[in-house]
Amino acid sequence: MTEKNRYDSFILGVCLVIGLGLLGFLLGNALIQFKQSDRTVTVKGLSEREYEADIVIWPIQFTTVGNELEDLYSAIDQSAESIQTFLQNAGIKQEEITVSTPAIVDKSAQQYGNESTLLFRYTASQSVTVYSDNIKAVRTVMGKLSELGKQGIVLTGENYESQTEYIFTRLNDVKPDMIEEATKKAREVAEKFALDSKSKLGKIKSASQGQFSISPRDKNNPHIKQIRVVSTISYFLSD
């Protein structure tokens, strides 16, 4: 082997050693950076507010009994008219009031055995429903229902169909502020975690917004709604 060939081989060997060393350094540094980028913290931010409902749906259900269908229908029509008059005198608009079709039950068709035990053959039920955005006025009228009882109207309210419903329709209006608040609170928690762990808080890795929930504040104030949302956010951490 000539002197020139030995020199070329030496140079090639040196280059290979340097190249392998540099490659190892780069790979090791990349692995360290990868592990650092994999350090994250996941936190939750809550936004919770109270708003009054926008719409009230108030069914007033009543019943009457009798043995003659003609008299029964007359009695139930009279009760429905009395309820509508009562509501309008209390400030409820006519267009906010609807009357359902009466439901008639023939007890003799359901009776097994001696029909002579039946005091009244027919039972009729009907609902007068208020659909209004004037929550305050409707709730005031609710406290005066005893006046209808004094007129001989039998009110029923035990079944599901006669329950009052309060609806909040402005969710899209309050969403942006609540999401912003939930995100801000989540970051505050993440910053506290980073400080306690002697780390620096980085950018957001991932974020998910939970579903908004709407529920009555309590059973005594169903017209006041509690709106709630939880945001879950993951942040990168670095030294």
Each residue's pLDDT tens digit, 102-129: 999 988 776 555 555 678 889 999 999 9
Q: What is the mean pLDDT of the chain?
A: 83
Exposure string for 92-102, b = 16+ CB within 10 A, e = fewer: beeebbeeeeb
pLDDT at residue 136 tops 50: yes
pLDDT at residue 86 tops 50: yes
pLDDT of amino acid 16: 56
Interior angle at CA 118, CA 116 and CA 123, nearest 5: 150
Q: pLDDT tens digits for 186-205?
A: 999 999 988 988 888 888 88
* Total-model pTM: 0.74
55-167 CATH choice from 3.30.70.2970, 3.20.20.70, 3.10.350.10, 3.40.50.300: 3.30.70.2970
Q: List the chain domain ranges.
A: 1-38, 39-54+168-239, 55-167
Interior angle at CA 221, CA 211 and CA 145, nearest 5: 130
* Tokens linked to 3: 């002197």
- Interacting residues of 131 by C-beta distance below 8 A, sequence separation 6+: 55, 56, 57, 58, 96, 98
pLDDT at residue 1 tops 90: no
CA distance 199 to 191: 9
39-54+168-239 CATH choice from 3.10.105.10, 3.40.50.620, 3.30.110.170, 3.10.129.10: 3.30.110.170
pLDDT of amino acid 11: 57
pLDDT of amino acid 46: 94
